[in-house]
C-alpha cells in the first residue's frame, strides 16, 4: 500500500481537495468570494460555503474589529405558505410560535417524533400564512413536505431563490446604513424590515451566526448577487470591510452550536441546552411533545457544555474526541479550536451526567494526545481576575 | 478588490480546498483511502466521498481493465422496518415493488406529490417487512419519516451503521471470490447474498455505479472497515487492485445519472428517461401518481439525452452549460467530460422537445466557449464504422 499523505492543510485547518461538480451548487456570490481569496470551503445544504479567507485567526480578529461580508447562501430557505402554514411550522418545533408577529425572526429547534434534533433554523414570519425557515445543514424541506403530505395539510412548500448575505462585525450597522439607509439602525435584534435594493424589497434582519452583531440580507434574485456584494464592498472601504465566514473560534467562544457536528438526530434539544426554546409547559401541538415531556420528567443524561483546554496549539476537531474522567469515557468533543482571546483551547462537548458542572476537571483525548480541560458554562466568558 | 484566484485544480478536475469539520463525516475506510493517495473528495450525504486517485483518466483506464475498491460509504442506508414497511416504500416510488423478493435489489426513482425526483436509491428487500434504501445525495430519511408520521404508519425508520464498499471492474468477481468464496459467482445481477466476513454475515450485492461489473459489500460494523479493505487489497495484488471511485467519464459514457446534478426535484422521472421504472399503468398506490399520469398523458416537454461534443480537452461542467440551437437556449448540460475512448467530449443534457432526437446538431456554451455537439442515445455506444 502506498503511503502518500494527501492532507495539504490550509493555514490553521485540516483540509482536502474538493472536486467541483454541478451537484454542489455555486452561489450568487461565488465569483466575488473567489476573487477575494477564499482559501477553504465546505459543502452545506448541497451548496458551497466559504469558510476561511486569510487564516482562521486573522479572520477572527478582523471579524471582532471591523466588518465582514459572509456568503451564507447555503442557509437555504424552506418556504411554507398557505392556510395551514402556521400550523405546520408549529408542529415542527417545541418553541411556542403563537405570539410571533410578522417581521420577527425566531430561533427554533426542529425535532422528530422522538424529540431528536432535525435542524435549528431561524424562522422568519413573513406573514400570518407565510414563513421562511432559514436552515442549517439537513433537508428540512423533505421533512416538512412529508409531514404535510401525510397529514393532508393545505400548504405549499418550496425552496425559493433566496440567498442570505451576512454583514457581521462591530461596524456592520454603519456599513448597512450606507447601502440600505438609516432605517436599518431601527431594526431590533431578531427583527427584519423590507428595504429597497435595485428596485427590489429585500428582507434585512438583525441577525447572523456570530456574537459581533450585524445583519442578514435575504437576496431574492440570484442575478443581483454581484451588485449587492459590490455595493457593500465599495461602501465599506474606509471601514476595512473584508470577506469573511462563520468563524470556528468565534462561534465556539460564543456557544453557537453547529447542527450535524455538535448536535444530531441522536440528541434532544434539552441535552443541547436549548431548553429556553422548548415550551413544554404550554398547550401547543408539536411533533415529539410526548418524547420531550418524558425526557424532561426523567431528567437528561448528558448535556452540551464548554471546555477550556490547557493547550497552546490545539487543532480543529474533525472527528469526535473522547472526554475522559478517571480513564473512563464520559463524553465527546464535537468542535474545538485554539482561542487567541482566552489563551487556551475552547471546545464544545456533550458530557454525561455527573461531569457537566462548571469547574469539573476532565481529560480530552485529541487524536492520541491528552490534554487537561475544565468544564465551563456557555458562552465562554473572561476568567475572573 | 483583490484578484487572487484560488482554484488550485487537481489533475483533470477543478477544485477548492475543503476544510474538514466534524459535521462532514469520515467513513470506516477514510484512513485507507487517504493512505492510498486520494487526490480529491466531495461531500455526499454529509459524508466524505473520495472521487479521484491518480487522475480522472488514469482511474478510468484502470477501472475498465482491472479491479478497484471504492469507498462509497456515502451511499447511506435508510432502513424501513415494520408492519407498514412495504407499504411505505411502495408509496415512495412509481416502480411496482409487489413482485420483489427478499434478496433483490431494485433501482427506484423516488418522487414527491408533484412527481418531482427526490432521490434514486437502490432498494434492497431484506425481508418482507424490512428494506434498505441505498441513497443518492438527499436526506430521504426525513421524507420517509415525515410521510410515515403524517400517515400514522407502523414503521421504524433509521440510518443503521452500514457503509458500502464497492468492488468494481472486470476482475471484481475474481477478487470478491478470493475473499468471500465462490458463492459470490452465483449472485445474479441486482441480487444479493449474505456472506461471512470476520464472523459477520454481510450483504454482498452484484451492483455498483459503473458499467464494468462488480459488487457492493454492505459493511454493518464500522470498526471492521480497515480489515475488510485490507483483506481485499492484499488478495488482489496480482490482479492490480487499486483504489477508485465513481468515475465521471465512465459514468457519463454509461448513461448513469447523478441525483442533484443531472436530475433534481424540478424534473420528473419520465423526463429523466426513467420510464422503465414508472409502472403508471399498474394499480399501485404511490405518492405523485396523478402528477405522473398527467405528465405521461400530456407528453413530456424535455428529456435527458447524451451529447457528443466536438472537443479535445473539455473540462468538467461545474455549473449548468446552456445548449443552443439557432442561437436560442434549448436545454442545459449538467455533466460533461472528455472521453478518451470516444475521442470527443461526452455530456448529459436536459433538452427541450424538438431537439432531443439522436443526430440533432446543437451548440454547447461551455463557460464562454462554444462547441458543436450532436445528440446521442444513452448509454453512449461505439460509432458505426
pLDDT digits (tens, 9 = 90+) for B349-364: 999 999 999 999 999 9
- Give the model's confidence band at B15: pLDDT under 50 very low, under 70 low, under 90 confident, else very high: confident
Interchain proximity A23–B261, CB inside 8 Å: yes
Interchain proximity B51–A19, CB inside 8 Å: yes
Interchain proximity A233–B1, CB inside 8 Å: yes
CA nearest A151 in B: which residue?
Answer: B150
Interchain proximity A143–B148, CB inside 8 Å: no
pLDDT (0 to 100) of residue A58: 97
Interchain proximity B16–A13, CB inside 8 Å: no
Q: Is the pLDDT of residue B385 over 70?
A: no
Q: Is the pLDDT of residue B174 over 50?
A: yes
Chain A residues with CB under 8 Å of B23 CB are: 42, 137, 258-261
Interchain proximity B23–A13, CB inside 8 Å: no
Residue with grid cell 423533505, as numbered in its chain: A142
Residue A79 three-state SS:
strand
Shortest CA gap B45–chain A (Å): 9
Grid cell at residue A226: 454581484
Task: Tell me the pLDDT of chain A (385 aa) as tens digits.
Answer: 222 223 333 333 467 899 989 999 999 999 999 999 999 999 999 999 999 999 999 999 999 999 999 999 999 999 999 999 999 999 999 999 999 999 999 999 999 999 999 999 999 999 999 999 999 999 999 999 999 999 999 999 999 999 999 999 999 999 999 999 999 999 999 999 999 999 999 999 999 999 999 999 999 999 999 999 999 999 999 999 999 999 999 999 999 999 999 999 999 999 999 999 999 999 999 999 999 999 999 999 999 999 999 999 998 899 899 999 999 999 999 999 999 999 999 999 999 999 999 999 999 999 889 999 999 999 998 654 4
CA nearest B320 in A: which residue?
Answer: A22
pLDDT (0 to 100) of residue B14: 61
pTM as predicted: 0.95
pLDDT (0 to 100) of residue A333: 98
Interface test with A, best of B3, B14, B22 (most A CBs within 10 A): B22
Shortest CA gap A118–chain B (Å): 8
Candidate from A4, A22, A335 with C-beta closest to B334: A22
B385 vs A372 pLDDT, higher one: A372
Interface test with B, best of A12, A21, A80 (most B CBs within 10 A): A21
Paired residues of B127 in beta bridges: B130
Interchain proximity B1–A32, CB inside 8 Å: yes
Candidate from B4, B26, B258 with C-beta closest to A319: B26
Instruction: Give the largest CA-CA distance in chain A.
Output: 64
Shortest CA gap B44–chain A (Å): 8
pLDDT (0 to 100) of residue B3: 29
Q: Is the pLDDT of residue B33 over 90?
A: yes
Residue with grid cell 458554562, as numbered in its chain: A377
Q: Is A299 left (phi over 0), alpha (psi -120 to 50) or beta?
A: left
Residue with grid cell 410560535, as numbered in its chain: A97
Q: End-to-end alpha-carbon separation of chain B, Å? A: 55
Alpha helices (runs of H) in chain B, residue ranges in sequence order? 30-35, 56-65, 85-91, 140-151, 172-180, 225-235, 248-253, 289-298
Q: Is the pLDDT of residue B128 over 70?
A: yes
CB-based contact B161:B140 (threshold 8 Å): no
- What is the percentage of chain A residues whose pLDDT exceeds 70? 95
Measured between alpha carbons, how far is B324 from B86 in angstroms, rounded to an integer? 45
- Give the model's confidence band at B383: pLDDT under 50 very low, under 70 low, under 90 confident, else very high: low
Interchain proximity B19–A13, CB inside 8 Å: yes
CB-based contact B202:B217 (threshold 8 Å): yes
Measured between alpha carbons, how far is A123 from A130 in angstroms, rounded to an integer? 10
Chain B residues with CB under 8 Å of A138 CB are: 46, 139, 142
Interchain proximity A35–B140, CB inside 8 Å: no
Interchain proximity B39–A17, CB inside 8 Å: yes
Interchain proximity A20–B16, CB inside 8 Å: yes
C-alpha B28: how far from its chain's center? 20
Q: Is the pLDDT of residue B7 over 70?
A: no
pLDDT (0 to 100) of residue B245: 98
Q: Is the pLDDT of residue B56 over 80?
A: yes
CA nearest B144 in A: which residue?
Answer: A146
CA nearest B16 in A: which residue?
Answer: A18
Interchain proximity A46–B18, CB inside 8 Å: no
CB pairs under 8 A between A and B: 228
Measured between alpha carbons, how far is A383 from B328 in angstroms, rounded to an integer? 66
pLDDT tens profile B277-320:
999 999 999 999 999 999 999 999 999 999 999 999 998 899 89
CB-based contact A374:A307 (threshold 8 Å): yes
- What is the percentage of chain B residues whose pLDDT exceeds 70? 95
Amino acid at each position: 500500500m502506498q503511503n502518500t499523505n494527501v492532507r495539504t492543510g490550509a493555514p490553521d485547518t485540516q483540509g482536502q481537495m474538493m472536486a467541483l461538480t454541478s451537484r454542489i451548487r455555486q452561489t450568487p456570490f461565488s465569483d466575488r468570494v473567489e476573487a477575494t481569496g477564499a482559501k477553504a470551503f465546505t459543502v452545506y445544504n448541497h451548496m458551497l460555503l466559504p469558510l476561511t479567507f486569510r487564516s482562521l485567526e486573522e479572520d477572527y480578529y478582523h471579524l471582532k474589529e471591523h466588518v465582514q461580508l459572509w456568503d451564507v447562501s447555503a442557509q437555504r430557505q424552506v418556504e411554507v405558505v398557505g392556510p395551514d402554514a402556521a400550523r405546520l411550522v408549529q408542529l415542527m418545533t417545541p418553541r411556542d410560535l403563537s405570539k410571533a408577529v410578522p417581521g420577527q425572526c425566531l430561533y427554533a429547534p426542529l425535532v422528530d417524533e422522538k424529540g431528536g434534533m432535525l435542524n435549528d433554523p431561524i424562522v422568519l414570519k413573513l406573514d400570518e400564512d407565510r414563513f421562511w425557515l432559514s436552515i442549517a445543514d439537513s433537508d428540512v424541506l423533505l421533512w416538512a413536505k412529508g409531514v404535510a403530505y401525510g397529514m393532508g395539510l393545505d400548504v405549499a412548500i418550496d425552496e425559493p431563490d433566496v440567498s442570505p448575505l451576512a454583514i457581521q462585525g462591530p461596524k456592520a450597522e454603519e456599513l448597512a446604513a450606507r447601502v440600505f439607509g438609516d432605517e436599518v439602525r431601527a431594526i431590533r435584534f431578531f427583527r427584519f424590515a423590507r428595504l429597497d435594493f435595485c428596485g427590489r424589497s429585500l428582507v434585512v434582519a438583525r441577525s447572523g451566526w456570530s456574537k459581533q452583531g450585524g445583519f442578514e440580507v435575504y437576496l431574492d434574485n440570484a442575478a443581483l448577487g454581484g451588485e449587492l456584494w459590490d455595493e457593500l464592498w465599495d461602501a465599506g472601504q474606509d471601514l476595512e470591510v473584508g470577506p469573511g465566514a462563520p468563524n470556528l473560534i468565534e462561534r465556539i467562544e460564543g456557544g453557537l452550536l453547529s447542527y450535524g457536528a455538535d448536535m444530531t438526530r441522536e440528541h434532544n434539544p434539552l441535552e443541547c441546552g436549548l431548553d429556553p426554546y422548548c415550551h413544554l409547559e404550554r398547550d401547543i401541538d408539536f411533533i415529539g411533545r410526548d418524547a420531550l415531556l418524558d425526557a424532561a420528567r426523567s431528567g437528561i443524561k448528558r448535556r452540551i457544555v464548554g471546555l477550556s483546554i490547557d493547550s497552546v496549539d490545539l487543532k480543529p476537531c474533525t472527528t469526535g474526541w473522547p472526554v475522559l474522567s478517571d480513564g473512563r469515557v464520559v463524553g465527546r468533543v464535537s468542535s474545538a479550536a485554539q482561542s487567541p482571546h482566552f489563551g487556551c483551547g475552547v471546545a464544545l462537548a456533550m458530557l454525561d451526567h455527573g461531569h457537566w458542572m462548571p469547574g469539573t476537571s476532565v481529560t480530552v483525548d485529541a487524536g492520541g494526545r491528552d490534554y487537561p480541560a475544565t468544564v465551563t458554562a456557555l458562552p465562554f466568558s473572561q476568567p475572573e481576575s
